[in-house]
């Protein structure tokens, strides 16, 4: 079993800047390994990460994730190099293809050929971070430029991916994988697809980081913890478009996905019926502090290098601290 490396992230619906920064600083103080800041339609993640970099000491900070449609490869490379410098080398660039509603509805950019866009963006960002000129893909007749910054060729790039094609691309061009709502017992299948992509691009034997973000609900009352975990699953399957439903159906969970949809129709109630409990087991961590630690350990055993505790939006300070502290025995057990 791998060491119990743990990360933290907060649901993107939480737009309390002071709370997000506070979670990162608490996680740093308690010995967590990673904090991921998501970006959707609220704060610019790079600005928050810059503030976190100045207020933390040792924790790795990552964008988890930035869509490849909202910034050019040049802007992403400049941002990554700047955060690398500001954090003292503690920054990881997390990218993803995002979704059509966010890409088109906020950024006014057509969501076309997302896997190709993902691969091209990573290739261009890597070139710029190496100190090379950007390999132009659209304005091919222009004179390609490079950054006026010191090269940072080893800055890690992680990709969010659910489908087989995007996982193979991650294996071709990335350093690691950021799965979300990807079943725990299927992590090995995703890792195999990463290896396929690596072999396809001549990168056989590359060791990829696997950092799943796991909806987490901890409470002294096990029933309350289950209820909160069920809300997470029901919310993402019924409210956030078809991407997570489709991914789970492809992996053989169609019947229980349908059960969740039926339980939340015609009105969303945040329910996962007992016949769909497998989704709570495979997608979340929940229970009393001891039960949550036991369930979290299963993610490490399944192949997670860093298991990322994912907090529900708008929790109170006591709930946040209690959840953070619930996993401290796992961090202490490795001799931090």
State the Cα–Cα distance between residues 177 and 192, nearest whole angstrom: 12
Q: Could you give the residue range(s) of every CATH 3.20.20.30 domain in the chain?
A: 5-217+288-332
pLDDT score of 292 = 98
Rg (Cα) of the chain, in Å, rounded? Answer: 19
Phi, psi at residue 164, to the nearest 5°? -60, -40
pLDDT score of 332 = 84
Whether CATH 3.40.50.800 fits 5-217+288-332: no
State the Cα–Cα distance between residues 309 and 217, nearest whole angstrom: 9
pLDDT score of 335 = 54
In the block, tokens 């055993």 appear at 301
pLDDT score of 334 = 65
CA 10 to chain centre: 10
- Closest by Cα among 287, 288, 291, 293 to 329: 293
pLDDT score of 295 = 98
List the chain residues with pLDDT less than 50: 1-2, 336
Report long-range pairs for 180-183 (Cβ below 8 Å, ≥24 apart): 180/212, 180/213, 180/310, 181/215, 181/233, 181/236, 181/244, 181/247, 181/248, 181/283, 182/212, 182/247, 182/283, 183/248, 183/251, 183/253, 183/282, 183/283
pLDDT score of 114 = 93
β pairing state of 5-10 and 34-37: parallel
Residues in the chain, total: 336
Residue 236 CB partners (closer than 8 Å, separation 6+): 181, 215, 244
Query: pTM for the full model?
Result: 0.96
pLDDT score of 39 = 94
Handedness of CA 222, 228, 229, 231 (dihedral sign): positive
């Amino acid at each position: 079993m791998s060491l119990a490396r743990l990360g933290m992230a907060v649901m993107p619906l939480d737009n309390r800047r002071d709370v997000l920064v506070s979670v990162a600083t608490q996680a740093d103080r308690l010995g967590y390994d990673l904090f991921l800041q998501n970006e959707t339609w609220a704060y610019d993640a790079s600005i928050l990460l810059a503030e976190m970099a100045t207020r933390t000491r040792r924790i790795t900070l990552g964008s988890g994730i930035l869509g490849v449609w909202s910034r050019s490869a040049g802007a992403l490379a400049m941002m990554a190099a700047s955060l690398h410098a500001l954090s003292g080398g503690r920054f990881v660039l997390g990218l993803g293809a995002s979704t059509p509603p966010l890409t088109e509805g906020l950024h006014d950019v057509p969501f076309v050929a997302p896997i190709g866009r993902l691969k091209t963006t990573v290739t261009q960002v890597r070139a710029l971070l190496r100190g090379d000129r950007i390999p132009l893909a659209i304005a091919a007749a222009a004179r390609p430029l490079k950054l006026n910054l010191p090269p940072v060729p080893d800055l890690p790039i992680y990709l969010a991916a659910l489908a087989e094609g995007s996982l193979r691309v991650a294996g071709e061009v990335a350093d690691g994988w950021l799965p979300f709502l990807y079943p725990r017992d299927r992590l090995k299948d995703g890792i195999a697809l990463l290896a396929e992509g690596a072999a396809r691009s001549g990168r056989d034997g590359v060791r990829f980081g696997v950092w799943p973000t796991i909806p987490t609900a901890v409470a002294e009352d096990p029933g309350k913890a289950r209820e909160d975990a069920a809300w997470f699953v029901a919310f993402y399957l019924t409210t956030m478009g078809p991407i997570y439903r489709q991914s789970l159906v492809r992996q053989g969970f169609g019947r229980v996905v349908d059960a969740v949809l039926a339980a939340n129709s015609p009105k969303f109630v945040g329910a996962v019926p007992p016949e769909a409990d497998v989704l709570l087991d495979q997608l979340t961590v929940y229970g009393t502090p001891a039960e949550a630690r036991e369930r979290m350990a299963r993610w490490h055993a399944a192949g997670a290098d860093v298991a990322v505790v994912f907090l529900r939006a708008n929790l109170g300070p006591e709930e946040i601290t209690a959840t953070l502290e619930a996993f401290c025995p796992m961090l202490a057990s490795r001799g931090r």
